[in-house]
Amino acid sequence: MAETVAETAKSAHISSMRQFKAIMKKDIVMELRTKEMLTSMGLYAVLVLVVYQIALSQAGSSFDVLRIAAGLLWLAIIFTSLLGLNRSLVHEKDQGCLDALLLAPVDRPVIFFAKAIGNLLFLSIVVVIILPLFYFFFLAGKPLGGPLWMLPLPLIVGCIGIAGVGTLLATMSVNTNGKDLILPVLFIPVMFPLLYASVAATTAVLIGDPGYATVYWNSIALGAGYDAIMLLAAYGLYEFIIGA
């Protein structure tokens, strides 16, 4: 059966862009109708910021929150993304959509890219909401160490990795008994290097210590390297995951 699906897909190769668009459109339309993912992710992010306020409330005025700001920001992003990744695949699973997708003559990599880019899109929207809120709540009035244009790059590199690897791991975790309990256990250790690089790059821009540009570009390069290796691996392995 697998061969016939592959052959059909091959004969309709021109349309893989259309398949990709169709899956993306389905995700976006569903989100526009239910608004479930964006509201839950956005609310969750705000709640995390409230918890930060509690955590920092007794730190005293001599404590400079700027030094850990990048870490806090990434913490909010990683936990929010866990929520979103889970949602995005639980939908597929619960409503039998994934089975339907597998029955349709669609290339497996197309499913991967469409889901990953959909997740990237929602994650980016949430980050765009969190970022000003975070600045407003914790960093208001503090000068940025580095130039502002340097700030988006680590966010982009980080979010691409989160969405790509996260889509693979979330597809695995929704098919287990543990469901949303399993995803963090798999996700956080695998994400460790990328998070480390992203926090380093973001901290470099926020603080702007002497020599920050070197640390910044090193971290960006390493983060991008992680993205390249892991996305290739995820792209190659997704077919096995979705077929099992």
Partner 1 sequence: MTDTTVSQRRFLGIPGNTWTLILLGFGAVLTTIDFVLAFFYTPLVVGAQVAETRIINGIAVSNQLLFSQKIFYFHVPVAIGSFLVFFFTAYYGVRFLMTKEKKFDTRARIATEVTLLFVILTLITGDIWTRFEWGVWWVWEPRLTTYFIMTLLVVAYFVLRSSIEDEERRATYAAVFGIIAFLDAPISFAITRLIPSSVHPVVLRSGGGLTGTQLLAFLLGLFGMLMVAWVVYQVRLREELARERIEGLKAALEG
Residues forming contacts to partner 1 in the complex (CB under 8 A) are 165, 168-169, 172, 175-178, 182, 185-186, 188-190, 192-193, 196-197, 200, 209, 215, 218-219, 222, 225-226, 229-230, 233-234, 237, 240-241, 243-244
Give 80 or 173: the residue with its C-beta nearer to partner 1: 173
Give 45 or 230: the residue with its C-beta nearer to partner 1: 230
Least CB distance from residue 181 to partner 1, whole Å?
8
Distance CA 176, CA 184 (A): 13
What type of residue sits at position 38? L
Residue among 236, 2, 241, 238 nearest 105 (CA): 2
Give 2 or 140: the residue with its C-beta nearer to partner 1: 2
Give 36 or 209: the residue with its C-beta nearer to partner 1: 209
Least CB distance from residue 172 to partner 1, whole Å?
5
Least CB distance from residue 229 to partner 1, whole Å?
6
Least CB distance from residue 95 to partner 1, whole Å?
20
Residue among 164, 91, 165, 160 nearest 127 (CA): 160
What is Dmax (Cα atoms) for the chain?
67
Least CB distance from residue 222 to partner 1, whole Å?
5
Give 43 or 229: the residue with its C-beta nearer to partner 1: 229
Least CB distance from residue 180 to partner 1, whole Å?
11
Distance CA 88, CA 90 (A): 6
Least CB distance from residue 233 to partner 1, whole Å?
6
Give 150 or 165: the residue with its C-beta nearer to partner 1: 165
Distance CA 126, CA 131 (A): 9
Give 19 or 187: the residue with its C-beta nearer to partner 1: 187
